[in-house]
Structures are given as structure tokens and as C-alpha cells.
Chains A and B, each alone.
Chain A
Amino acid sequence: MTTDVTTPASTGRVLGPVRASLIFVEALWTWYRRNWRATVVSSVVQPVLFLLALGFGLGSQVRPTEATGGLEYVVYLAPALLVATAAQIGAFESTYPVLSSFKWQQTYLAIAATPVSPGQILAGHLTWIGVRLGGSGAVYLLVAAVLGVLTGPGVLVTLLVAVLTGLAVAAPITAYAATIESEGQQFNAIFRFVVMPMTLFAGAFFPIEQLPAWIRPVAWITPVWHGTELGRGVVFGGLEWLPALGHLAFLLALFAAGAALATRNYRRRLSA
């Protein structure tokens, strides 16, 4: 009865994997253009306040020593704050926003019904975090430059290190967030027992040589320590090639492992 009907062809088509992830970023950019104000405090204002209070305020009481590489404390602190803030943003962007996309708003489920695949959604999510980290890091550096605490353009390499550090934190947390079915109470534990201690004690504000020897190995496995060592090394020098490559390898490996796990978890949850 109805088999002779001709249907006009659909206009939809399949995007390549890179395009698909970029369209995902474009979608988040549409959201961000409306909602960026809410992120300015945690992304830019907070690190600048830290720079003022700890760098200039408390730092004025700190004499340049070997521990600060002979630098004024605020100068010593500036690139590390960039890295530590990136870690915090990377962590946050991978918790509630991910859970909400799966569970509350279910926007991931909506996108999974388009030609875009779960793996491409994840790639888009991580790319977006990279863009966010690069953007807010650049604004922070601009403020720091105006305050006169940067030593030179080498800090732009630190910005890349900060983006990598943020992503190395984001990828495994994203993998975890993709498995959560509850209201996300677990995230508080991550912030309290992982992100916060890592920010404070893993070498950003003072060298980990100041920590008791027994706890130093804990700092060694944090992305913030590797990120700040590398991020400072590239602006202040004094970092050998081998350790530098080691830090880089650690961050890349953490990111790759997290991304692989997250890909699996996204696939599982979006095609059940």
C-alpha cells in the first residue's frame, strides 16, 4: 500500500573524526559564550589572588634562596600557579559537567543519536578542556605580565605544559565520572583528598624537598609535581634533558591511559 512512496533523501551525513570533535567544541563554545562569566572567578581571578596574596604578600617575607632558584618568591611562584590552576580546572571540568551530560541533562545521549560516536564525543570533551585551559591560562599570563612577574616569553612553553598537565588530570577523572550513576558525592572526595593536597603540597608553592622524606614519593606520582618541575624548568632553566623528558613522558602517559579508559567507559555507557 505504501511501498511506492518516494522519500526525499536525508541531508544528514557522517563527519570525519576530527571534524566531529571540532563540532563538539563548537557546541560547547556556543554554551560558553552565554556562560563564561561563571568560570572567570575560578579560572583567572583565583590564581591572580593567589599571586597577589602569596606571591607579593607572603612572598615579601621570603628571601630569595637556592630553594627558589635565587628568584624573588612571586617570580618563582607565577609559572607554577599557572600549572596548578590548570590541574584544578581540568579536574573540575571532568566531574559535574561530565556526570550531567550523561545523567541530568543527558546531552551526551542526544549527541549519541547523531552520526557522532561516543569516542568522538570524548575527544571533543578533552579538546574543549584543552582550549579552555589555553584560553584562561593566557589571560592569567597577561595579568601576570602586567604585574611584572614574568621573566620572558619562555613562559609560553609553560602554558603548553599547563595545558598538558590539566589534560593529564582531566582524562582519568573523566573516565571515572563516566561510570558514576549517583549524584556525584564522590567528586567531593576527589577535590578534598586529591586535587587540593596536590595543589598545595606537590611542589607548586615550595619545593618538595621541604616535605618529610617518606611522603615525597607521593608527590612524585602527581601530575602537578611533574607539571610544575617542567613548567619552571622551561622558563628558569636548570632542568636537565633527561628529567625533562621524564616529566613529559609521565604527563603524556597519564593522559593517554586516562583517555583510553574514558573511551571505553563512554562507549559502554552510550551504547548500552
Chain B
Amino acid sequence: MGENGALVHARDLVKQFGDFAAVRGIDVEVRRGEAFGFLGPNGAGKSSTMRMVACVSPRTGGDLRVLGMDPERDGPRIRARLGVVPQQDNLDSELTVRQNLHVYGRFFGLSKAHVRAKATELLDFAQLTDRAEDEVEPLSGGMKRRLTIARSLINDPELLLLDEPTTGLDPQARHLLWDRLFRLKQNGVTLIITTHYMDEAEQLCDRLVVMDGGRIVAEGSPSELIGRYSTREVLELRFPPGEPAPEADLDGLCDRLEVLPDRLLLYTADGEAVLAAAHARGVRPVSSLVRRSTLEDVFLHLTGRTLVD
């Protein structure tokens, strides 16, 4: 399978729309059986990359292998073995839930009997059995999302591409989906996920890259990234609106200081100690919170932005 067993192998991959470069030369290597994440703010180039991997968007430059094949030459053969959840649902809203699965499976050369059995299994997987015979149009956004995900599994894909799979889902549905994705991974399905949610990336991804402006700005496992780009703990201090934050008073107390519109973030190994020291210097925040560092902090450090804006 491709270079050193990678399911996806990209070198200096470029995607250009006219004069505008959405992806500016990225290197990616996704191994069999892992869950790989693309993180990044709006417009970072995540979806553009996913579409190239899905073999529905030709690359402008660089090298790309998916399942060991070249998308340009073997697009249909690669697509036959992929599952794709696009960022925007594209179900046939005038068909029933079950018909959407039937019809889609047939495009993968599956027999009617096979598709029928598989659809029943997937409806159960996505907890949509009750709604199987209903038209898709009036379903809630979360149900449509679950159906799109179920549909992507109709051909038992070896590589599943999920572009913001849980956007628009309520917390319960997100956890259900995480559980399902985890099960797929256990069964040996390789996952590529884009997300804006740090907790999702931390929960699901073995490895991830942070993209910004079409480039990869960091790469590693969630804990590696936190270790490399952040401190163990973060102290968050809030001050009354309109009152200037006393940044100067906090000088030298922590490794790094981020000023957000509504709060200060103090990066340190020991949050409680810094809080006590700040108090001693007369700093009086409205509220304070000591927490563990997350990918959100890594992201903020790397891009200077919060992820969900």
C-alpha cells in the first residue's frame, strides 16, 4: 500500500482556485487504522484538502496517493472504497430515509439484497430505524447528519472522510457519534476528520495537523501538541467589562500571557500558585479559573485566534 503503508500520502499538495491558493503545499501521511484530524479556522483549506483526498477535486500541484493509487488516474476505483461525509449534507430530501441508503448503495455496484440488509443495519447504527419510512425533508438537522454518516458507510469503506461530522448536532448526538466512530476504528476503518471542536479532536484523533491559511502549522498527537506548544495548566482571569486588564501587574508571573477580548489567559505549570501571586500583587479579577491546557490553547498560540469565531 503506497509509500510505507500510508493510506493517504501527500507531498507538497497544492489546490488553487484561479489565482487563489486554498492549499499551499502540505505534506500529510495517514496510516492504516488511525484516526487523523485536520484542525483549523474557517477558510484554512480543510475541506479543499478533503475533497482532493475524496477524488472529487483534482489537485493543482504536488503528489497525492490514496489507498496507494493516484486520484487522477484511478478516481473511481479509489472512490469505490471510500466513505465520504461532506461538510454540507446532500441527501435526496424527496426520498425516504431508507431509500436514500438503498439508492446510494447501488452506485457502489452493490446488489439490491445486499443494500437492503446493509441499510437496515445502518439505520440501527444511526438510531434512525423509527424514521426509516419517513421522507428526509422534514427531519431535524441532527437526524439528516446522522443519515449522511450512515450513508457513507453503505459500502463498508476502508477509509472514511468526515468533514465536520458533528457540526449542528446536540451534545447527546455528538457523543453517540463519537462512540460510533470509535467502534468503526476498532473494526479497522481509517478515519480522517475535520473539526472546529477541540474536545472532539482530543477524543477521536490519534494524530492531527493544525492548518491555517492553506498551510500546516503544527502536527502531532493531541498530547504532544499540548506539551510542545502549551503549558500544563492555564489560569483564566476575567475582569469587569470596560475596565482595562492589569497586564502589567502580572509581568513575570507566568510563561506566557494571552489577552482575549473578555479575559486573560496565563500559561503556567502551576495555576493556583500564579493566582495566589497575582492576588498578592493586588490584582482583583471578577472570576478566576484554573484548568488543564487543551488543544484550544495550542491553536490560540499557533494562529493567534480562537478556533470557533
- Chain A residues packing against B (C-beta within 8 Å): 1-15, 19-20, 23-24, 26-27, 30-31, 34-35, 105-107, 109-117, 270-272
Contacts and interface: CB of A to CB of B under 8 A. Distances in A.
Contacts of A112: 56
A15 B109 contact: yes
10 contacts: A2-B32, A3-B31, A6-B188, A10-B156, A14-B109, A35-B94, A105-B93, A107-B91, A115-B80, A271-B57
Interface of B: 5, 17, 31-34, 54, 56-58, 75-77, 79-82, 84, 86, 88, 90-95, 99, 102-104, 106-110, 114, 151, 155-158, 187-190, 206
Contacts of A117: 75-76
A10 B157 contact: yes
Counting chain A CB atoms within 10 Å of each CB, the highest count among B106, B107, B188 belongs to B107
Contacts, number: 128
Contacts of A6: 188
Nearest to B6: A3
A106 B90 contact: yes
B33 to A, nearest CB: 3
Contacts of A19: 109
Contacts of B157: 10, 12
Contacts of B84: 113
A26 B106 contact: yes
B88 A115 contact: no
A7 B86 contact: no
A96 B108 CA distance: 27
B86 A109 contact: yes
B58 A116 contact: no
Contacts of A107: 90-92
B77 A115 contact: yes
A9 B159 CA distance: 10
Given A7-B33, A115-B80, 10 more contacts: A7-B189, A8-B158, A8-B187, A11-B110, A11-B114, A12-B109, A13-B109, A27-B103, A114-B80, A116-B76
Q: Which 9 A-B pairs have the closest CB atoms?
A: A5-B33, A12-B155, A106-B90, A12-B108, A114-B107, A12-B80, A10-B81, A2-B33, A7-B188
B56 A13 contact: no
B130 to A, nearest CB: 20
Contacts of B187: 8
Given A26-B106, A107-B90, A8 B188 contact: yes
A1 B188 contact: no
Nearest to B155: A12
Contacts of A8: 156, 158, 187-188
Counting chain B CB atoms within 10 Å of each CB, the highest count among A14, A26, A34, A116 belongs to A14
